[in-house]
Amino acid sequence: MSLFRCPLCASPLTRTDRTYTCPKGHSFDRAREGYVHLLPANQKHAKDPGDDKEMAAARNRFLSGGWYAPLREALCRLALTYAPAGASVLDAGCGEGYYTAGVYAALSETGQVGQMAGVDLSKPSLRWAARREKAVEFAVASVYHLPVADTSVDLLLNCFSPLALDEFRRVLRPGGVYLYVVPAARHLWELKEVLYDGPYLNKEEDIPYEGFSYLEVVPVEAVLELPDRDTIRDLFSMTPYRWKTPKAGAARLEELDHLRVAAAFRVHVFHREPA
Ligand SMILES: C[S@@+](CC[C@H](N)C(=O)[O-])C[C@H]1O[C@@H](n2cnc3c(N)ncnc32)[C@H](O)[C@@H]1O
Ligand SMILES: [Zn+2]
């Protein structure tokens, strides 16, 4: 069974080795790595194509190095706390699947996952994700048009990805739980001090999104000792600073062969209220 629905007519999809098909005859090919392309042409946006190949590879190397393991462990703990037995789990904006695969592994050990899926706009990211965990379904799709049925998700994960509130409200069943990871005030502060003359702290705010109520906010913090230029460059390449750093700042970063930097996250844990 697939968690995905046909992006053209919303019927259930049947998965085979090569394709996903719906009863109305719409058919979607699976890539060699196993993910499926469910993004209709009219939902493609040149200005928002998702992470490119280089960013996906940098993120994959950095996360595979275990630098953000404390966040993954926190997400696994929260998933184990809140997922019911046999849960349907969706990672919206899953990237290269580091957290998706971690949460899947934790939940499958206790029988708490029935089916799990990840979606992202970035094909290069999904190539990595699909290789990480074969038991999770992955699709190229936008979080603003999730190819998923209404109220079909028990646990929704969103790590640093766009906040598509209407869709999240639609797909989460009432009583379902939404884990939303955002940067805390001092996240990557020392990196920003190198890049910018006047860096600013991230704002920390708790926002009562309509349809959701807070269960808790879980802070996760670590100090990273990045040991070499490649690791520092990978971290830089997976952040939005890659696009908005003055040349002088980027040059200063290139000079470093070691960086001690704070990683600080906040996991907002929401309960989907009944409609
Ligand atoms: C900062 S990355 C986070 C990826 C992953 N959750 C992680 O924490 O490693 C943001 C991700 O959102 C994806 N993205 C951006 N806009 C999107 C959209 N409209 N729909 C789906 N994914 C999107 C990007 O391709 C990228 O993989
Ligand atoms: Zn269809």
Show the low-confidence residues of the chain (pLDDT under 50). none
Closest ligand to C-alpha of residue 48 is: 1
Helices (H), the chain: 53-64, 69-82, 98-109, 123-132, 165-171, 189-195, 229-237, 247-255
Tokens of 191: 């990196």
Confidence (pLDDT) at 253: 95
Tell me which residue of 230, 216, 263 sits closest to 57, measured CA to CA. 230
Q: Which atom of ligand 1 is nearest to the CA of 239?
A: 1
Q: Which residues 6+ apart lie within 8 Å of 267 measured at CB?
A: 71, 74, 75, 78, 179, 180, 181, 217, 218, 219, 220
Confidence (pLDDT) at 41: 76
Nearest CA to ligand 1 atom 4: 95
- Cα 24 to averaged position of ligand 1 atoms, centre (Å): 30
DSSP state for residue 43 in the 8-state scheme? G
Candidates 104, 121, 168: which one to mutate for ligand 1, based on the most atoms within 8 Å of Cβ? 121
pTM of the model: 0.97
Confidence (pLDDT) at 135: 97
Closest ligand to C-alpha of residue 59 is: 1
Candidates 47, 120, 266: which one to mutate for ligand 1, based on the most atoms within 8 Å of Cβ? 120
Q: Which residues 6+ apart lie within 8 Å of 91 measured at CB?
A: 97, 99, 100, 103, 116, 117, 118, 119, 157, 158, 159
- Cα 47 to averaged position of ligand 2 atoms, centre (Å): 27
Confidence (pLDDT) at 46: 63
Tell me the per-residue pLDDT of 209-252, one tens digit each, with 9 for 90 and over. 999 999 999 999 999 999 999 999 999 999 989 888 889 999 99
* Contact in structure between 125 and 61 (CB atoms under 8 Å): no
Is 235 touching ligand 1 by the criterion CB < 6 Å?
no
Confidence (pLDDT) at 40: 82
